[in-house]
Amino acid sequence: MKRLWTGLFLIVLTSSCAGKIWLESTKPDSKAINSILSKENGESSNLNLKLNHSDKVEFTHNFRPCCAFGTNFTVTLLSIPIPFFKETNTVNYDSLGTHIYNMEKFSAEEMASIGKRTPEVNGLIYTRRGGLIDTAHIRDTADVTLTLFYKIYPRLGTNFEIELPREIGKRSILFNAFDTSKMEGKDRIFLSSALAAKLAYEMAVSHEFAQWHGYRNVSIFPEEQSAYSPEDLYSNILGAKLASALINEQLIFSSIQYNLNMSSWLEQTLKELGPVDKEETQRLLMTTNKIWWDQDIRLPDKFMLRKRDYSLSLRLSPLEIPTSPLKDPATLEIKEFFRIYNLDKIAILKLEIDPSFEDKFNHVPKHIWNKKLTIKDLRKIAQYDKEFDDNYLKNN
């Protein structure tokens, strides 16, 4: 989870940024047209997408300002305490505004496209079924899922590579060729969507991993206090699944369509999970003070956060605050298979460690350490990260 203190720094985003407005179309095949001309109902499962503007759909290099675990923080900047500054970071589910794809660099054109609607707002929300949720993580992973879909779908079944934004080294996704000649149009969409969701989640996993091992988006802001934060990856899975559902329902053919549908689907999903208001979320967070986090420790001290989730699992249960037990908790899962297709056999995310970050792995046994890592390697190393943190907390 990346932490930027918006109360201290205002990032001005202007229309000089590259716009992300796109408009796609569908291209029916002969089977679809013949079904219209026949006595059938004009239904076809063999829809093909024609992605004319996939170049408009690009990875962001800066995620949304996210929320550190806890509330009413105090902050130190460049070792100097910031007086009279406390940040409250909870929100109401029905006040989240309109989603904007890759909000980090929105343009004036995009702002105009949402009309008089309020631009998106993000924060922490506690829910009765989904535990603690960070909406910025939901949105970021949803956007990454959509981006990956646009890059995967046109080349599905071929050998190709997608270069990802660097963090603690080069990241890329390698795709293997396989036979798609007998695959119907909708199945191509669904398989591309499933791949995009899984890989977007794995990108989020690699981001948490990178934060623990020294990654900083802004050089003066350490991010270790956010690494493996216990609500992060559950929120990321939720974002991946939301975007995948929008893709499968074909609600992503234009930037406006995606933004508006993402807004309504996110709100309805949170409503279904049973959200509490922002004041109750704050109160519940305070019940975990000195247990899961420490309000007396200023950000960005790493050990302001005391509870982390190092599992990096594809299946996660919601984060339940003990004073507010969950009812019918919603366990979320990223699938490893789509029908007969093993997604790991089709695509694999790889991470290379730059020499400048190698000293952050001194606690990792030599038989585990490798400069070139996969997600499976990250899960193994994360357990040594846990051991390192546990020893520190035990002795301090």
C-alpha distance across the termini of the chain, in Å: 24
Tokens of 373: 């890592």
Whole-angstrom distance, CA of residue 307 vs CA of residue 384:
15
Residue 40 domain-assigned (yes or no): no
What is the tally of structural domains in the chain? 1
pLDDT for position 72: 83
Alpha helices in 213-286 (DSSP H): 232-248, 255-272, 278-286
Residue 264 domain-assigned (yes or no): yes
Residue 90 domain-assigned (yes or no): yes
Residue 187 domain-assigned (yes or no): yes
Low-confidence residues of the chain: pLDDT under 50: 1-19, 41-44, 84-85
Residue 393 domain-assigned (yes or no): no
pLDDT for position 214: 96
User: What does 139-202 look like in DSSP terms, one character per residue?
Assistant: HHHHHHHHHHHHHHGGGTTS-EEEEE--SSS-EEEEE-----TT--HHHHHHHHHHHHHHHHHH
pLDDT for position 109: 58
Whole-angstrom distance, CA of residue 183 vs CA of residue 178:
11
In the chain, the DSSP E strands lie at 25-27, 48-50, 76-77, 80-81, 124-127, 131-134, 160-164, 171-175, 315-316, 332-333, 337-338, 341-342, 347-352, 372-374
CB 244 within 8 A of CB 21: no
Give residue 70's domain range. 46-154+181-340
Residue 168 domain-assigned (yes or no): no
The residue type at 388: F
Contacts of 42 (CB under 8 A, 6+ apart): 35, 36
Residue 237 domain-assigned (yes or no): yes
The residue type at 383: Q
Instruction: Count Cα neighbours of 183 within 13 Å in the Cβ-side half-sphere.
Output: 20
Whole-angstrom distance, CA of residue 276 vs CA of residue 357:
41
Residue 11 domain-assigned (yes or no): no
Residue 314, helix vs strand vs coil: coil
Q: How far from chain centre, in Å, is Cα 231?
A: 12
Tell me the pTM: 0.89
pLDDT for position 15: 33
